[in-house]
């Protein structure tokens, strides 16, 4: 499969996986298990309306998911693709991205969920992201 086709597949998989993760996150927020995350785009528009911030936040969130999906499809070796490899990738995206490189670049504050339940739920949300990504990329490979 060409790099271009894998890239497109990764972006599509990343968008689908972000949607699945958001569905899990919404249920966890309604159940009071986690607080809604601070999105990367909201802080860059201090004078913007709430509606504008929501649009920017969604675009940044789905864009991040698409780029991570592209990286997974192109860079991760074949044996690590699939549901389990994807879930591990999703957790790595959370741990490395939101706890390490995004704060270092001052694009976000470190995202550490408060409490054991919140950590487990946040990890599970990202595992869902990765598992769906692994399914999409693995199915079309």
Number of structural domains found in the chain: 1
**Contacts for 80 with CB less than 8 Å, ≥ 6 apart:** 88, 89
Note the pLDDT of residue 61: 85
Q: Which domain holds residue 52?
A: 3-140
The model's pTM? 0.84
Note the pLDDT of residue 141: 56
The single-letter DSSP state of residue 141 is -
The single-letter DSSP state of residue 78 is G
Contact 59, 51 (CB under 8 A): no
From first to last of its 141 residues, the chain has per-residue pLDDT tens of: 788 999 999 999 999 999 999 999 889 888 888 766 655 556 667 777 878 878 888 888 899 999 999 999 999 988 788 899 999 999 999 888 777 777 777 666 665 556 677 778 888 999 999 999 999 998 775
CA distance 86 to 140: 14
CA distance 36 to 30: 10
């Amino acid at each position: 499969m060409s790099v271009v086709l894998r890239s497109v597949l990764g972006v599509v998989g990343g968008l689908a996986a972000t949607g699945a993760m958001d569905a899990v996150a919404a249920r966890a927020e309604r159940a009071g298990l986690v607080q809604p995350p601070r999105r990367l785009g909201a802080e860059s528009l201090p004078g913007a309306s709430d509606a504008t911030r929501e649009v920017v936040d969604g675009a940044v969130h789905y864009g991040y998911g698409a780029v991570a999906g592209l990286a997974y499809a192109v860079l991760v070796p074949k044996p690590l693709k699939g549901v389990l490899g994807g879930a591990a990738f999703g957790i790595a995206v959370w741990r490395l991205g939101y706890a390490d490189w995004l704060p270092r670049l001052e694009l976000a504050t470190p995202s550490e969920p408060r409490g054991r339940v919140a950590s487990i739920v946040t990890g599970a949300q990202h595992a869902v992201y990765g598992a769906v990504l692994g399914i999409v990329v693995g199915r079309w490979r």
